[in-house]
Chains A and B, each alone.
Chain A
């Protein structure tokens, strides 16, 4: 059974800092991994999708890497801004799970002005 964990559970940083969020998964037989952000009481917004054959994806100030063999992914946020404050979740999808997604518990990020 696939399990996804995220470290840290919460993070508070001053504006302008670069930061790294971590995601770990127990079964490396994944098809893809996706990072989301969620604002309180809202739906999830897709940030980046990494296919299992890829090592990283970039979008603006965001960079996500994937090391499938070690069961890890990191989300790097450059020059953080108060608008980045949200909960960040990673999710893995694999054929072993009937194309179902398994979500991590999320990292709650606060960027202080």
Chain B
């Protein structure tokens, strides 16, 4: 069974650009979570999607947005990139209140 997959693995952008990160959850998982982890810092909760709806949002500006598709895959969009957006972006999935599984992440560098 495939795990949580994220694409791309690495990304380099310049300030002001827009980026889209993708996540495919484990088959049967309906909840997708997005986290940001800046270098040397802890996990910061971004967004939680379940059954196609946004259920909760962390303390991030509106230029961070996303969606979940009918097949439960998800996209994270970041507009007007800033230098401090450079981080590892992690996606996780689970079905209901069960074990949480993470993908390998997308390393975003903003120059």
Contacts and interface: CB of A to CB of B under 8 A. Distances in A.
B25 interface: no
A41 B101 CA distance: 16
Contact of A105 (B4, B42, B88, B101): B42
Nearest to B45: A100
By size class, the interface of chain A is 20 to 34
By size class, the interface of chain B is 20 to 34
Contacts of A46: 99-102
Main secondary structure of the interface of B (DSSP, over half): strand
Contact of B43 (A34, A41, A89, A97): A89
A105 B38 CA distance: 13
B99 A100 contact: no
Nearest to B96: A99
Contacts of A34: 99-100
Interface stretch (B11-19, B75-83, B103-111): B103-111
Interface string B33-61: 10000000011010010100001100000
Contact of A91 (B55, B100, B101): B100
Contacts of A49: 98-99
A100 B56 contact: yes
10 contacts: A34-B100, A41-B105, A43-B104, A44-B92, A46-B99, A93-B97, A97-B56, A99-B48, A100-B33, A101-B33
Interface of A: 31-32, 34, 36, 41-46, 49, 89, 91, 93, 95, 97-101, 103-106
